């Protein structure tokens, strides 16, 4: 059967007369279909594409930011009225994105790889990647809308219809009972994979549990892992250089803590841990070996991601799975970890790793080397859905993080997706064009940072003032 005959045969089953009428009106009769000019053939076969003109005529005409309290939200506008959304990573400056505007104006958003190669030099590890990643996912949102397909289809299709979620958990009462109570609440909500913050901060009030803790407690910021309290503060001192050690009493306390929580949730549920604190490789080995009886799903970010050989030392010393990667930028940052089997699981964040396509490449490369992938996330449902598309399209995927649980309004930030977004520990993969969600403007406006704007014009970023080539 000829292509035209096959097409007509399929449509006839639904409405033969309607098809004949439309074909005749369009100047494309069934008999002439095979001999029609290519322009008319393309016009007919692409009639469901959401466009004002051909996708080849799309141009980027503007970029704006909403100063949302979790992270800046980016919007890229085109000359055809189609726009794309993206998240700049939590804790990142919107100027990481705005500096890219003059470099992409006038370009066709469908040329994602070309644009990405042009702007990726302006990204870097962790929050420095926020602008590049936000732009990249917004481009894919546009492409999906223009061609009327979900983003996962652009990545080669999907392996799963639902994406499994692991739920991050902190407890106000930082005791085994406090964490056990919170964990049970998560289980009752339907989550099937849990994570808890657990580390040396639990030992600060335990006598003789830590070596060198008194020194750090007297410094600005104390032993807080976060905050910019100066380059010599605990938070800003890399793990190998704190000289903090865990005593046998400290190990025993953390071991009992893990035992109590594991006993409360049972062994049927994957349980992983994060935020162990700024400790060196030898202390990390002590901890991973001590945690072996509790079959943790992983221990996360024990040391900075770039200490590849130290990661390999830890991983080779224990049966407890190791994981890192939320601050890695591009496949090139992940390759040393993967090539050396320095960790058991990689952990990209789509808002830092390079965006949608780069994260898919990272996952595939890890799969080829026998390494699984979980996904980190802390932003709005925009990049969450971008992560869902990548997770759906990547075979070695394990679970995607949920931090939206800390924001009661999180589900209400977007429209177009079934609610709750996370249902019984899973997210349904969107089938709508693009990322599959649109902003609920009124809710976003209610949660802007103090004095922040809502997609205000940004003409001051229109003009390119530098020569960006990195070679002579």
Question: Which tokens hold the place of 24?
Answer: 């005749």
Half-sphere exposure of 196 (CA within 13 A, CB side): 28
Do residues 206 and 249 touch, judged by C-beta distance below 8 A? Answer: yes
Of the ranges 65-74, 78-87, 165-174, 332-341, which one carries the lowest mean pLDDT score?
Answer: 165-174
Number of residues in the chain: 472
* Alpha carbon distance 245, 99 (integer Å): 43
CA distances from 26 to 42, 121, 189, 294, 381 (A): 12, 48, 54, 68, 41
Which among 381, 463, 377, 362 is positioned nearest to 167, based on CA atoms?
377
The residue-averaged pLDDT of 306-329 equals 98
Please give the domain boundaries of the chain with CATH numbers for all domains.
Answer: 55-150+454-461 (3.30.390.10), 154-435 (3.20.20.120)
The pLDDT of residue 234 is: 94
Residue that wins the pLDDT comparison between 176 and 61: 61
Strands (E), 54-203: 60-66, 73-78, 83-87, 162-169, 194-197
Q: What is the rounded average pLDDT for all residues in the chain? A: 90
- Host H or E run for residue 25: helix 3-25
Do residues 255 and 273 touch, judged by C-beta distance below 8 A? Answer: no
- Is the model's pLDDT at 460 over the cut of 50? yes
Which among 343, 421, 333, 337 is positioned nearest to 377, based on CA atoms?
421
Helix axes 330-339, 356-368, angle to 10 degrees: 10
Find the angle CA(278)-CA(280)-CA(275) to the nearest 5 degrees: 35
Instruction: Kindly report, residue by residue over 427-458, the tens digit of the pLDDT.
Output: 999 999 999 999 999 999 999 999 999 999 99
* Alpha carbon distance 407, 377 (integer Å): 14
Residue 285: count other Cβ atoms within 10 Å of its Cβ.
18
* Alpha carbon distance 423, 412 (integer Å): 15
Instruction: Kindly report, residue by residue over 241-281, the tens digit of the pLDDT.
Output: 999 999 999 999 999 999 999 999 999 999 999 999 999 99
DSSP class per residue in 313-365: HHHHT-SS-EEE-TT--HHHHHHHHHHTT--SEE--BTTTTTSHHHHHHHHHH
The pLDDT of residue 47 is: 57
Instruction: Kindly report, residue by residue over 380-431, the tens digit of the pLDDT.
Output: 999 999 999 999 999 999 999 999 999 999 999 999 998 999 999 999 999 9
Q: Is 15 exposed, middle or buried (0-12, 13-18, 19+ CB in 10 A)?
A: exposed
């Amino acid at each position: 059967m000829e292509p035209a005959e096959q097409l007509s045969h399929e449509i006839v089953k639904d409405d033969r007369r309607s098809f004949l009428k439309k074909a005749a009106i369009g100047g494309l009769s069934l008999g002439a279909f095979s001999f029609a000019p290519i322009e008319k053939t393309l016009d007919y076969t692409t009639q469901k594409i959401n466009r004002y003109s051909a996708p080849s005529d799309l141009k980027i005409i503007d970029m704006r930011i909403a100063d949302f309290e979790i992270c800046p939200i980016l919007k890229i506008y085109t000359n055809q009225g189609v726009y794309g959304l993206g998240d700049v990573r939590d804790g990142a400056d919107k100027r990481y994105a705005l500096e890219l505007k003059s470099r992409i104006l006038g370009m066709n958003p469908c040329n994602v790889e070309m644009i990405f190669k042009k702007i990726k030099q302006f990204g870097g590890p962790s929050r420095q990647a926020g602008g590049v990643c936000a732009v990249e996912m917004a481009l894919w949102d546009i492409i999906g809308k223009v061609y009327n397909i979900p983003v996962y289809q652009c990545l080669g299709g999907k392996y799963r219809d639902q994406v499994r979620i692991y739920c991050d958990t902190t407890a106000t009462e930082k005791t085994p009972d406090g964490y056990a109570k919170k964990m049970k609440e998560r289980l009752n909500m339907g989550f099937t994979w849990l994570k808890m913050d657990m580390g040396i901060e639990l030992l600060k009030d335990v006598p003789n549990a830590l070596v060198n803790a008194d020194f750090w407690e007297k410094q600005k910021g104390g032993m807080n892992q976060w905050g910019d309290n100066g380059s010599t503060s605990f938070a800003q001192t890399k793990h190998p250089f704190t000289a903090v050690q865990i005593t046998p009493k400290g190990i025993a306390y953390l071991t009992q803590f893990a035992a109590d929580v594991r006993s409360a949730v049972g062994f049927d549920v994957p349980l992983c841990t994060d935020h162990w604190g700024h400790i060196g490789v030898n202390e990390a080995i002590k901890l991973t070996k001590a945690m072996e009886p509790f079959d943790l799903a992983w221990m996360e970010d024990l040391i900075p991601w770039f200490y590849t050989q130290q990661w390999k030392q830890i991983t080779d010393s224990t049966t407890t799975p190791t994981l890192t990667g939320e601050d890695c930028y591009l496949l090139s940052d992940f390759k040393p970890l993967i090539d050396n089997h320095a960790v058991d699981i990689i952990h990209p964040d789509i808002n830092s790793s390079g965006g949608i396509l780069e994260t898919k490449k990272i996952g595939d490369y890890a799969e080829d080397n026998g390494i699984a992938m979980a996904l980190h996330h802390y932003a709005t449902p925009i990049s969450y859905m971008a992560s869902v598309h990548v997770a759906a399209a990547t075979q070695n995927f394990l679970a995607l993080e949920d931090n939206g649980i800390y924001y009661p309004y999180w589900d209400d930030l977007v429209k177009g997706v079934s609610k709750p977004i996370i249902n019984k520990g899973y997210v349904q993969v969107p089938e709508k064009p693009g990322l599959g969600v649109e902003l609920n403007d009124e809710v976003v406006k209610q949660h802007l940072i103090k004095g922040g704007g809502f997609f205000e014009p940004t003409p001051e970023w229109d003009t390119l003032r530098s020569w960006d080539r990195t070679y002579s």
